Chain A
Amino acid sequence: MNNISSEAFVLGMSALGAGIAMIAGLGPGIGQGIAAGQGAAAVGRNPGARGEVMPTMLLGQAVAETTGLYSFAIAIILIFANPLVKML
Chain B
Amino acid sequence: MNSGVELDIGVKGYLEYHLFGQTLYITTTHICVLIVMLALTVFGICANRAIKKADPYKAPGAFVCFIEIIVGLLDGMAIDGLGKKHGPNFANYTGTLFMFILLSNISGLFGLRPPTADYGVTLALGMITFLLIHYNGFKYQKFGHITGLFKPIPILFPINLVGEIANPLSISLRLFGNVLSGTVMMAVVYTLIPKFLLIAWPGVLHIYFDVFSGAIQTYVFVMLSMVYISDAFDGEEE
Contacts and interface: CB of A to CB of B under 8 A. Distances in A.
Nearest to A55: B223
Interface residues of B, number: 18
Contact of A76 (B174, B178, B180): B180
A65 B223 contact: no
A72 B216 contact: no
Contact of A59 (B9, B176, B184, B224): B224
A62 interface: yes
A55 B217 CA distance: 12
Interface string A47-88: 000000001001100110110011011001000100000000
Contacts, number: 38
Contacts of B170: 66
Interface in A15-35: none
Nearest to B217: A62
A53 B224 CA distance: 16
A73 to B, nearest CB: 6
Contact of B184 (A55, A65, A70, A76): A76
B174 A72 contact: no
B174 A66 contact: yes
Contacts of B219: 55, 58
A66 B224 CA distance: 13
Given A62-B217, A66-B170, A69-B181, 7 more contacts: A58-B216, A59-B227, A66-B174, A69-B173, A70-B177, A76-B180, A80-B10
22 contacts: A55-B223, A58-B216, A58-B219, A58-B220, A59-B220, A59-B224, A59-B227, A62-B174, A62-B216, A62-B220, A62-B224, A63-B224, A65-B174, A65-B178, A66-B170, A66-B173, A66-B174, A69-B178, A69-B181, A70-B177, A72-B177, A73-B176
